[in-house]
Amino acid sequence: MTRNVARLLARPTAMAAVVAASVSLAGCGYNNIPTKQNAAQTKWADVQAQYQRRSDLIPNLVATVQGYAAQERGVLVDVTNARASATQVKIDPSMLSDPQAFQRFEQAQNQLSGALSRLLVANERYPELKSNENFLALQSQLEGTENRIEVARRDYNQAANDYNTSLVTFPGVLWKSTLQSNYKPLNLFSASTEAQSAPTVNFNIPGPAAGKGSSPAASGAGAAPATGGAPAPSAAAAPGSAPPK
């Protein structure tokens, strides 16, 4: 019976010790690294969601443009192929520390951004396409999605940078070198890459500048007086003949 009592008394003591140890570890920053990693992975999910949204818009965009600008077939094919490549390159949160996998994903998305940019610029030559309601709706959705992609990339970079910093600063650097050695730095998007910026969409075709349309005629009409006086006759009049009408 004495042993049973001792065991019953020992259990609360052990539990108290575990709780005290947990509180002590938390106070020493033990949970900082996994918490920051989870935050970065959540932001990464936002990035993927926005890229997927853009990918879903592209088939309708290509179909709409094709009906008005079939001669832009080369650009349309580029967009379709780039979308296919981008959807094939997958990266989950466990691969964010893999530089090669991250680079493949970023390059595929960059190629798609570049192809979309060229398509939208080419479409400026088609006024009828600009007035199509379906195209206008797709244009608006695409612009909004590109902006959300930019925000999602920025938020992910900030969260990942915060996590990476915790691995090399105190107290995280102590945990990284001992109990949390399996945590690795996360890759970041390259903010300076041209393809990573949202494409500029401008469907307003500027009209001719005032006066440019009449300038050639004006210059032609004024060429003769500029030589000094009345225009020269095309042929000499015979003596005594009537002046030309």
CATH number, domain containing residue 46: 1.20.1440.20
Question: Is 185 domain-assigned?
Answer: yes
Output 204 or 103, whichever has higher pLDDT.
103
Kindly tell me if the per-residue pLDDT of 21 is higher than 50: no
Name the residue range of residue 182's domain: 32-204
Among candidates 102, 135, 134, which has minimal Cα distance to 120?
135
Output 151 or 228, whichever has higher pLDDT.
151
For the chain, what is the domain count? Answer: 1
Query: Does the pTM of the predicted model rise above 0.85?
Result: no
The DSSP secondary-structure symbol of 207 reads P
- Calculate the alpha carbon distances from 202 to 9, 94, 126, 164 in Å: 76, 39, 12, 39
Per-residue pLDDT tens over the stretch 109-155 = 999 999 999 998 888 888 888 788 889 899 899 999 999 999 999 99
Residues 166 and 172 sit within 8 Å (Cβ to Cβ): yes
Question: Is 230 domain-assigned?
Answer: no
Question: Is 159 domain-assigned?
Answer: yes
